[in-house]
Amino acid sequence: MKKLILILSLVFQSIYAFTQVNIVVNCDKDDWQYKIDEEITFSYQITSDNISLKNAEITYEIGEEKMPNQLKGRLDKLEGNIKNNKLSKSGFLRCTILVTVGNKTYKGLATAAIEPYNIKPTVSFPSDFKEFWNNSITETRKIPLNSKVKLIPEQSNEKVNVYAISFENDKINSRIHGILTVPTKSGKYPAVLEVPGAGIRKYSGNFELVDDEIITLQIGIHGIPVDLDQSVYSNLAAGALFEYPFINLDNKDYYYYKRVYLGCVKAVDFIYSLPEFDGENIAVSGGSQGGALAIVTASLEPRIKYLRCNYPALCDITGYLNNQAGGWPHLLNEKNKSRNYTDKKMETIPYYDVVNFARTLTQPGLYSWGYNDEVCPPTSIYAAYNVINAPKELFLVKETGHTVTPIQVQKKNEWLINKLKK
């Protein structure tokens, strides 16, 4: 009997695990873009598999992203419209539908863009910004690369050699580690530097461009090898590197991201040291934290010819102090403001805010994101994008959040190949 009960329990758990409540939220304009004070109607439709929604609790929240909600309430239908919404400034207005079934809550959302190309950054530009970074780069380049390159036979094949690499960064014994892929065929090749999203984890290299004979260098930023057991990274994430974007924020010379930004510059030096590199055609590519690092690297290193960036983090961090969404890692939002809103930390932030690197870009760039990003708010992203004076293309997939769709990956690779091999 006990065995039968256990089997039935597992069956029911399996059915429940595959149960899905689908919530589609939409705006009444196809492009989700509106004028200031233009009326916005959000529509929603809720469906499910395997379970009844008869007793489901349905609620909604509407507000400017990352700001207190303007409206919230209950809904008594599985589909309908929520009318008479508007925003009286440039920004993003988000409608979130929450459906609670039993002890589980499902979420769907749509985010209306209100004159996004008029969003302005709030972060200040230090008068010695360029001097600070030029001096920092000069100092770190006094340290030789002292590169180490080790073939990984089990990942290599007839088309590509794969290497675990490292090089000295901003001080002796502070190393940047990564995975390098190089075409086996004799010749000179263009290169892509891939800079990482947030987190502490292992890397295995990028093989998407192997058939196109492009060198790739995928780096980590934390000064540790990128091929260790996952438990090492998990322990660091919960221990010494917990909340690493907050480390030494009170001193611009020792803030955590200083060694990171300089490490990206040294990664360009490393690529230029490769005998297989063609010495000219190089791009930098990344998303989220990597999107931020892509902009930073291109700004600091004029040898970068092309920039590819998804939903960049670290944009307009001070937005929260001016009643608009600031960028990840949300140093000054309601949760973190009390510990970071100090004179010394506020002095540091502008030297690392991506907006100020975006101001100085000269390279052509491909950018991509969606309006539903809850990690890197589009308000903060547009604050940086709007100050870029270099040639720029935006591949918008408005319904997406903090994720990359197959079409974005395809667009990225096609763009990089076209630029680097034209």
Q: Give pLDDT, residue 49.
A: 84
> What CATH superfamily is the domain 129-420?
Alpha/Beta hydrolase fold, catalytic domain (3.40.50.1820)
Q: Give pLDDT, residue 184.
A: 97
11: pLDDT strictly greater than 60: no
Residue 161: closest CA among 280, 307, 275, 313 = 275
Cβ distance 129 to 358 under 8 Å? no
CA pair distance 344, 177, nearest whole angstrom = 31
Whole-number average pLDDT of the chain: 94
Q: Where in the chain is the domain with CATH 3.40.50.1820?
A: 129-420
Q: Give pLDDT, residue 69.
A: 82
Q: Where in the chain is the domain with CATH 2.60.40.1930?
A: 20-116
Write the CB contacts of 151 (distance below 8 Å, at least 6 apart in sequence).
Answer: 161, 162, 163
Residue 328 phi/psi, 5-degree rounding, is -55, 140
400: pLDDT strictly greater than 60: yes
CA pair distance 160, 50, nearest whole angstrom = 47
The helix (H) or strand (E) run that includes residue 414 is helix 406-420
Q: Give pLDDT, residue 7.
A: 36
Amino acid sitting at position 371? Y
**How do 215-219 and 148-151 pair as beta strands?**
unpaired
Mean pLDDT over 298-322 rounds to 98
Look at domain 20-116 and name its CATH class.
Answer: mainly beta
Degrees, nearest 5: CA angle 336-339-345: 105
**3-state secondary structure string across 102-166:** CCEEEEEEEEEEECHHHCCCCCCCCCCHHHHHHHHHHHHCCCCCCCEEEECHHHCCCCEEEEEEE
Q: What does the pLDDT look like over 156-184, one tens digit per residue?
A: 999 999 999 999 999 888 999 999 999 99
Residue 309: closest CA among 324, 294, 323, 326 = 294
What is the CA 205 to chain-centroid distance, rounded? 18
Degrees, nearest 5: CA angle 131-133-134: 65
Cβ distance 342 to 399 under 8 Å? no
Mean pLDDT over 205-221 rounds to 95
CA pair distance 19, 13, nearest whole angstrom = 10
Burial of 190 (0-12, 13-18, 19+ CB in 10 A): buried
Mean pLDDT over 186-203 rounds to 97
According to DSSP, the residues that pair with 395 across neighbouring strands are: 368
* Whole-number percent of the chain with pLDDT over 70: 95
Q: Give pLDDT, residue 19.
A: 55
Q: Give pLDDT, residue 3.
A: 41
Cβ distance 138 to 130 under 8 Å? no
pLDDT band at 140; cut points 50, 70, 90: very high
Cβ distance 355 to 385 under 8 Å? no
Write the CB contacts of 401 (distance below 8 Å, at least 6 apart in sequence).
Answer: 370, 372, 373, 374, 375
pLDDT band at 46; cut points 50, 70, 90: very high
Whole-structure pTM value: 0.94
- Residues marked active site are found at 288, 373, 402
Q: Give pLDDT, residue 14.
A: 33
Q: Give pLDDT, residue 2.
A: 38
What is the CA 41 to chain-centroid distance, rounded? 29
Q: Give pLDDT, residue 52.
A: 81
Q: What does the pLDDT look like over 306-317, one tens digit per residue?
A: 999 999 999 999
Cβ distance 161 to 184 under 8 Å? yes
- How far apart, in Å, are the Cα atoms of 283 and each of 65, 215, 259, 273? 32, 10, 21, 16
pLDDT band at 18; cut points 50, 70, 90: very low
Q: What does the pLDDT look like over 51-74, one tens digit per residue?
A: 789 889 999 999 999 998 889 999
